[in-house]
Amino acid sequence: MYLVSTYTHQVKSYCEDKFFNRFMELDADKIVVDNTPGMDYAKHLTKYGSPVHHLEISKEPDNTRFLRSVSDSANHVRDYFLDGAWSYLVIIESDVIVPKSLLNLFDEAIAMAEKWGAIGGYYYRGWHDFDKWGTQPYEDKRCKSLKKTQHVLSGCTVYHRDVIELFKFKWDYENLEAFPDAWICHDINTRTNKNLYDYPKIICTHESDKKGKRH
Task: State the Cα–Cα distance between residues 97 and 207, nearest whole angstrom.
Answer: 7
DSSP state of 48: G
Task: State the Cα–Cα distance between residues 9 and 6, nearest whole angstrom.
Answer: 10
What is the reported pLDDT for 145?
A: 81
What is the reported pLDDT for 160?
A: 98
What is the reported pLDDT for 209?
A: 82
Q: Average pLDDT per run of 10 along the chain, which is 215 residues long?
A: 97 97 98 97 96 94 92 98 98 97 97 97 88 53 76 97 98 91 97 96 90 63
pTM to 2 decimal places: 0.93
What is the reported pLDDT for 134?
A: 52
DSSP reduced 3-state for 205: strand
What is the reported pLDDT for 213?
A: 64
Long-range contacts made by residues 30-34, C-beta under 8 angstroms, separation at least 24? 30/3, 30/4, 30/5, 31/3, 31/4, 31/5, 31/6, 31/77, 31/80, 31/81, 32/5, 32/6, 32/7, 32/8, 33/5, 33/6, 33/7, 33/8, 33/73, 33/76, 33/77, 34/7, 34/8, 34/9
What is the reported pLDDT for 169?
A: 97
Domain with 128 in it: what CATH number? 3.90.550.10
Helix axes 180-191, 65-82, angle to 10 degrees: 60
Q: How far is CA 207 from CA 7, 106, 155, in A?
A: 15, 22, 12
In a domain, 215, yes or no: no
**CB within 8 Å of 126: residues ≥ 6 apart:** none
Task: State the Cα–Cα distance between residues 171 and 179, nearest whole angstrom.
Answer: 6
Domain that holds residue 192: 2-206
Whether the bond between 200 and the residue before it is cis, its omega within 30 degrees of 0, is no
In a domain, 20, yes or no: yes
In a domain, 211, yes or no: no
Task: State the Cα–Cα distance between residues 144 and 63, nearest whole angstrom.
Answer: 41
Domain total of the chain: 1
What is the reported pLDDT for 129?
A: 82
In a domain, 104, yes or no: yes
In a domain, 180, yes or no: yes
What is the reported pLDDT for 130?
A: 75
In a domain, 181, yes or no: yes
In a domain, 212, yes or no: no
What is the reported pLDDT for 25?
A: 97
What is the reported pLDDT for 144?
A: 62
